[in-house]
Amino acid sequence: MARGAEEALQESGSAAPAASGGGQREPAAAGLCPICLGDLDNAAHVGTCLHTFCFGCIRQWAAVRAACPLCRQRFGRILHTFTFSPPQGVGRGRE
C-alpha cells in the first residue's frame, strides 16, 4: 500500500487543480462567448481545446488567426454543434 502517494496528491484542499500557465481568467459563466461577451449564438468548439464560442465569432477570429482566443492553442478546425434536430423521415420508417 502506498499511503504516502495518496496523501501527497491531496496536499491542497482546493477542489480545482491549478491549470498550467493559467494567468488569464476565463469567463465564469458558461454560455457566454468570450469574444463578443454575449450569449452563445450557434455554439461552436475549437478543435484542440474545445473552448466554446459563437460560430460566427470564432469563424471570423479564425480568419485572422487560427489560435484559440482563450488559451492560444492553435486549432485546425472548428467543431460546429448544430442545434439538436430529431431525425425526421429518415431511417426506420414504417411501411
SS (H, E, C) the chain: CCHHHHHHHCCCCCCCCCCCCCCCCCCCCCCECCCCCCECCCEEEECCCCCEEEHHHHHHHHHHCCECCCCCCECCCEEECCCCCCCCCCCCCCC
- The contact pattern for Zn ion, residues 35-74, with x = CB under 5 A and - = no contact, is xx------------x-x--x--x----------x-xx---
Is the CB of 47 or the CB of 93 nearer to Zn ion?
47
57 vs 62, which CB is nearer to Zn ion? 57
Q: Where does this chain touch Zn ion (CB under 5 A) — which range of 3-11, 15-23, 32-40, 76-84?
A: 32-40
Residues found near Zn ion in the complex (CB under 5 A): 33, 35-36, 49, 51, 54, 57, 68, 70-71
